């Protein structure tokens, strides 16, 4: 089989190579998956560059989200069978095949394509933990989503609308903003200079919940348009700058700053983690959330797919289809 292989840590992801790889013998608890689609996520790039918190030993195959068909199972596997359409996770998704513990596999809902199944989990789990578990977003509240055209941002817009919030979305280009209007955001603004428009839209009160995967100047400006008793959820720092704040500001304005690590939330609270996964999968199965696939690339062009994220061209998700 063929797979993308990282043999050295480097800022230049062009060092990745498509190679012939042989998987080890299947363990009794494992299933082998023929991958039909793998999602491209920003942490995949950071892992290759050695800038992510998880640093796998070399060599490794990037990618942590995939969907495909079960083609073999170990002797001890009873929860899936050959031919099942499944969602898989774990390092090694940029490949034609992968082997994973079968217990972690989830069935693809009927009527859902491989690309959507492969690319919704990380984005929507992040949005769910941020908006439902941490911020406890309520119907009728104002939700401000930054980086709203990206994978985790678009998931927050989608989930926020499903919850019944009034959604303000920010994005960096006219193309992205036009898409967000069509996607259902109630108000769409540029990614800087949004403060006064947010205050005006909310009757001077500010946003009740702010979802921030950007950080930097965006966070700084967000602290000036957050409502009393509001909640700012910290998703990440795609701007490259980790902001800081004097704690007198949240004291005076009565708002909370909440960190969001969806995977760690599930590890700390396993039962809630299972509930979260069930909830977003049920929403997908019922057609109540709408993952958007921006582009599809063959496995041989995996580096090109990753570079679309580096250049901030993507609206929604990019997938690799081996």
Q: Is 90 helix (H, G, I), strand (E, B) or coil?
A: coil
- Do both 159 and 40 map to the same domain? no
- Do both 61 and 153 map to the same domain? no
- Do both 53 and 85 map to the same domain? yes
Q: Is residue 230 part of a domain?
A: yes
pLDDT in tens, 238-296: 888 999 999 999 999 999 999 999 989 999 999 999 999 999 999 999 999 999 999 99
Q: Is residue 277 part of a domain?
A: no
- Do both 107 and 141 map to the same domain? no
- Do both 108 and 157 map to the same domain? no
- Do both 27 and 133 map to the same domain? no
Choose the final residue of a domain: 248, 264, 280: 264
Percent of the chain with pLDDT over 70: 100
Asked if residue 59 has a cis previous peptide bond (ω within 30° of 0), the answer is yes
Q: Is residue 284 part of a domain?
A: no
Tell me the C-alpha distance between 158 and 150, whole Å: 12
**CATH number of the domain residue 147 falls in:** 3.40.50.720
- Do both 91 and 147 map to the same domain? no
What is the predicted pLDDT for the residue at 38?
98
pLDDT in tens, 84-130: 999 999 999 999 999 999 999 999 999 999 999 999 999 999 999 99
Q: 176 exposed, middle or buried (CB, 10 Å; 0-12, 13-18, 19+)?
A: buried
- Do both 129 and 260 map to the same domain? yes
Q: Is residue 7 part of a domain?
A: yes
Helices 270-285 and 121-128: crossing angle in degrees, nearest 10, is: 120
Report CA-CA distances (Å) from 29 to 89, 99, 108: 15, 10, 20
Choose the final residue of a domain: 225, 247, 264: 264
What is the predicted pLDDT for the residue at 310?
85
CA 237 to chain centre: 14
pLDDT band at 204 (very low <50, low <70, confident <90, very high): very high
**CATH number of the domain residue 297 falls in:** 3.90.180.10
Alpha carbon distance, N-terminus to C-terminus of the chain: 10
- Do both 142 and 74 map to the same domain? no
Domain span at 91: 2-120+291-321
**Nearest partner of 163 among 317, 279, 291, judged by Cα:** 279
Q: Is residue 36 part of a domain?
A: yes
Q: Is residue 48 part of a domain?
A: yes
Tell me the C-alpha distance between 317 and 235, whole Å: 17
- Do both 250 and 218 map to the same domain? yes
- Do both 108 and 140 map to the same domain? no
Q: Report the number of distinct structural domains present in the chain.
A: 2
- Do both 109 and 221 map to the same domain? no
What is the predicted pLDDT for the residue at 42?
87
What is the predicted pLDDT for the residue at 239?
86
Q: Is residue 198 part of a domain?
A: yes
Q: Is residue 44 part of a domain?
A: yes
Inform me whether the pLDDT recorded for 165 exceeds 90: yes
Tell me the C-alpha distance between 217 and 212, whole Å: 11
Apex 92 CA angle, 16 and 214, nearest 5: 75
Tell me the C-alpha distance between 229 and 208, whole Å: 7
């Amino acid at each position: 089989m063929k797979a993308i292989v990282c043999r050295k840590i480097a800022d230049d992801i062009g060092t990745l190579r498509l190679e012939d790889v042989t998987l080890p013998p299947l363990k009794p608890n494992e299933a082998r998956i023929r991958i039909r689609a793998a999602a491209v996520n920003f942490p995949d790039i950071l892992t290759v560059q050695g800038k992510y918190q998880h640093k796998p030993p070399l060599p490794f195959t990037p990618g942590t989200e995939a969907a495909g068909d079960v083609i073999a199972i170990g002797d001890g596997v009873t929860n899936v069978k050959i031919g099942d359409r499944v969602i898989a996770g774990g390092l090694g998704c940029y490949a034609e095949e992968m082997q994973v513990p079968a217990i972690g596999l989830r069935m693809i809902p009927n009527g859902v394509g491989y690309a959507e199944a492969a690319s919704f989990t990380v984005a929507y789990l992040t949005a769910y933990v941020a908006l439902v578990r941490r911020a406890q977003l309520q119907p009728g509240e104002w939700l401000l989503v930054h980086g709203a055209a990206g994978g985790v941002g678009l998931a927050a817009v989608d989930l926020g609308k499903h919850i019944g919030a009034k959604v303000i979305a920010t994005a960096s280009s006219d193309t992205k903003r036009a898409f967000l209007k069509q996607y259902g955001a109630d108000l769409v603004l540029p990614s800087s200079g949004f403060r006064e428009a947010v205050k005006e839209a909310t009757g001077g009160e500010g946003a009740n919940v702010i979802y921030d995967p950007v950080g930097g100047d965006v966070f700084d400006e967000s602290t000036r348009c957050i409502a009393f008793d509001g909640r700012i959820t910290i998703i990440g720092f795609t701007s490259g700058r980790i902001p800081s704040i004097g704690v007198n500001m949240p004291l005076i304005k009565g708002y909370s700053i909440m960190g969001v690590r969806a995977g760690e939330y599930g590890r700390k609270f396993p039962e809630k983690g299972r509930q979260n996964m069930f909830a977003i999968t049920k929403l997908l199965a019922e057609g109540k959330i709408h993952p958007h696939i921006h582009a599809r690339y063959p496995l041989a062009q995996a580096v090109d797919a990753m570079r679309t994220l580096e250049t901030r061209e993507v609206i929604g998700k990019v997938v690799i289809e081996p």
